Amino acid sequence: MSQVSTKPASGMRDFLPKDVQRRNRVFNIIREVYESYGFEPLDTPAMERLSTLMGKYGEEGDKLLFKVMKRGRKLDKALRKDEPQDTDVADMGLRYDLTVPLARVAAEYQNELPRYFKRYQIAPVWRADRPQKGRFREFYQCDVDVIGSEAMTVEAEVTAALAEVLVRLGFTDFRIHVNHRKLLTAMMEKAGVAPEMRQEALIAIDKLDKIGRDGVIEELENRGIEQGSIDSLMPLLDQASEPTSPGEFDNEATLAALREEVGELESGQKALSDLDKLLKFATSGSAADHLYIDPYLARGLSYYTGPIFEIRSDEFSGSLGGGGRYDELIGMFSKQDIPACGFSLGVERILVLMEERGMFDERESEVDVLVTLWNDDFTPNSFRLANELREAGLKVDLYPDNDRYGKQFGYADERNIPFVAILAPDELEAGVVALKDMKSGDQEKVAREDVAGWLKERLGS
């Protein structure tokens, strides 16, 4: 057979055991926290009908979908067409995010799902982006959403759970930037930005982080916002003071100032009332010290209808995830609108940061002890010892070949297994096992019945 490339396909990654173990530790913490908040897991197929996916992510998104070819006669027919299009040849696509599948599920199972559907999903999505450093074509998303309530308790719970995840992972110095789509509308209305120009203005406003305040002004000009509107808009956006450290921003003052300016407008009133409630509900939760009202936060996706969030920190650039309320998205799949609010944690970015900053609680090995072999006739004894230790709750590897002990120890070293158990005829007869500490090189004979205890004590488990 011809030699083919053994690398993963472009933009894809293999995760060897050490990587998987690290990733799983992070995923498990996220799962644990979300479950403690009453969220339940959902699983949807990797492939969706093309009609489910197309038109949901904008023109650019449609291009980035991985499309799956039809099969058999349908494929033959499509390929024989004159100038076939991609949508003739494909009938499914790989999921692009976890939100559209959720919206489909919420519509399909309306009668089976509880009145409030609190779900989390940690799963890969696929995008045909050009691969580059830190950007992959297969990557995990980690979403929580609550479907079925318009109350700000939802926003307070989602942000609290999220803050707790970050704290449990070891991040402390982060902010959850909060804004409200209707507050942005009110500010633009007050500044006289014409309704048809507001989406353009949002794009400019959202770039504060990347291009600074002067950059935003320039971008607003370039996007055709009138000078007078810009002059009125910027002071409104500037209401929030720069935060200094967690818990040290005066959100109440920000809201009071905004109330002065836009409190009399209908959208301003609704937004300020929502944000008031969110702050009040959050006081006793994990997000309390992290919430930061930021009038500049806009977020790109057009489907948001209420509060919006984004996690940032002075310690690193970019965002660790974002979310918000989208009361109209599920209506794309259902006959009625169903309110919803969710957050997508940037788990791949979090994993990279944790790696860079040495935040992983390193374990040398997932295996506790290697049981060695003496010879074929003696192998059943080694098996028996391995089983005893497994029954005692230890993770045990058994060396497979009849090699000299030096080679067997070498393998334990290679896998970073901390202890090696030796059971040769002498040991068996004496009712002991020789235990070798691979770090110190010390070897000790331990009575057979004490072996598991001896190991557990030293492993600190």
Q: Which residues are annotated as a binding site for L-histidine?
A: 97-99, 127, 141, 145, 299, 303-304
Interface with a copy of itself, residue 318, by CB under 8 A: no
Q: Which residues contact 62 (CB under 8 A, 6 or more apart)?
A: 54, 55
**Residue 377: DSSP 8-state:** G
CB of 406 to a copy of itself, least distance (A): 13
Q: Which of 20, 256, 352, 447 binds a copy of itself (CB under 8 A)?
A: 20
Nearest alpha carbon to residue 200 among 177, 180, 184, 178: 184
Q: Which of 8, 212, 300, 431 binds a copy of itself (CB under 8 A)?
A: 8
Interface with a copy of itself, residue 352, by CB under 8 A: no
Query: Of residues 203-242, which lie at the interface with a copy of itself (CB under 8 A)?
Result: none
Nearest alpha carbon to residue 451 among 401, 403, 385: 385
Interface with a copy of itself, residue 285, by CB under 8 A: yes
Q: Which of 118, 181, 190, 299 binds a copy of itself (CB under 8 A)?
A: 118
Q: Which of 198, 207, 349, 390 binds a copy of itself (CB under 8 A)?
A: 390
CB of 71 to a copy of itself, least distance (A): 5
Nearest alpha carbon to residue 296 among 158, 194, 187, 189: 187
Q: Which of 59, 60, 83, 214 binds a copy of itself (CB under 8 A)?
A: 83
Give the x/- contact pattern for a copy of itself in 408-447, rule: CB under 8 A: ---x--xx--------------------------------
CB of 195 to a copy of itself, least distance (A): 21
User: What is the CB neighbour count within 10 angstroms for residue 269?
Assistant: 15
Q: Are 438 and 421 in contact (CB under 8 A)?
A: no
Name beta bridge partners: 177.
292, 310
Interface with a copy of itself, residue 41, by CB under 8 A: yes
Candidate ranges 112-120, 262-270, 311-319, 348-356; the one touching a copy of itself (CB under 8 A): 112-120
Crossing angle for the helix pair 266-282 and 152-169, to the nearest 10 degrees? 50
Q: Are 238 and 294 in contact (CB under 8 A)?
A: no
Give 120 or 304: the residue with its C-beta nearer to a copy of itself: 120
Q: Which of 197, 398, 428, 446 binds a copy of itself (CB under 8 A)?
A: 398
CB of 431 to a copy of itself, least distance (A): 17
Q: Which of 27, 29, 61, 75 binds a copy of itself (CB under 8 A)?
A: 75
Distances (CA, A) of 105 to 168, 309, 323: 30, 24, 19
Place of tokens 């790989």: 94
How far apart are alpha carbons 217 and 354 in whole angstroms? 35
How far apart are alpha carbons 216 and 230 in whole angstroms? 10
Q: Which of 396, 433, 438, 455 binds a copy of itself (CB under 8 A)?
A: 396
Q: Which of 107, 167, 234, 424 binds a copy of itself (CB under 8 A)?
A: 107
How far apart are alpha carbons 372 and 389 in whole angstroms? 13
Interface with a copy of itself, residue 165, by CB under 8 A: no
Pairing between β-strand 369-371 and β-strand 419-422 as defined by DSSP bridges: parallel
Name beta bridge partners: 341.
146, 325
Interface with a copy of itself, residue 122, by CB under 8 A: no
Distances (CA, A) of 444 to 314, 374, 391, 432: 51, 18, 22, 10
Query: Of residues 132-161, which lie at the interface with a copy of itself (CB under 8 A)?
Result: 137-138, 146, 148-151, 153-154, 156-157, 160
How far apart are alpha carbons 203 and 348 in whole angstroms? 25
Interface with a copy of itself, residue 100, by CB under 8 A: no
> By three-state DSSP, how is residue 14 classified?
coil
Q: Is 124 left (phi over 0), alpha (psi -120 to 50) or beta?
A: beta
Interface with a copy of itself, residue 456, by CB under 8 A: no
Interface with a copy of itself, residue 55, by CB under 8 A: yes
Nearest alpha carbon to residue 282 among 429, 178, 184: 178
Containing 348, the helix (H) or strand (E) segment is helix 347-356
Give 236 or 396: the residue with its C-beta nearer to a copy of itself: 396
Interface with a copy of itself, residue 269, by CB under 8 A: no
Interface with a copy of itself, residue 252, by CB under 8 A: no
Q: Which of 113, 301, 359, 428 binds a copy of itself (CB under 8 A)?
A: 113
Q: Which of 116, 210, 238, 355 binds a copy of itself (CB under 8 A)?
A: 116
Candidate ranges 178-186, 201-209, 317-325, 363-371; the one touching a copy of itself (CB under 8 A): 363-371
Backbone angles phi, psi at 414, to 5 degrees: -60, -40
Q: Report how many residues bind a copy of itself under the rule CB under 8 A.
A: 118
Pairing between β-strand 291-293 and β-strand 175-180 as defined by DSSP bridges: parallel
Q: Is the Cα dihedral 236, 239, 242, 243 positive or negative? A: negative
Interface with a copy of itself, residue 305, by CB under 8 A: no
Interface with a copy of itself, residue 404, by CB under 8 A: no
Interface with a copy of itself, residue 126, by CB under 8 A: yes
Give 38 or 425: the residue with its C-beta nearer to a copy of itself: 38
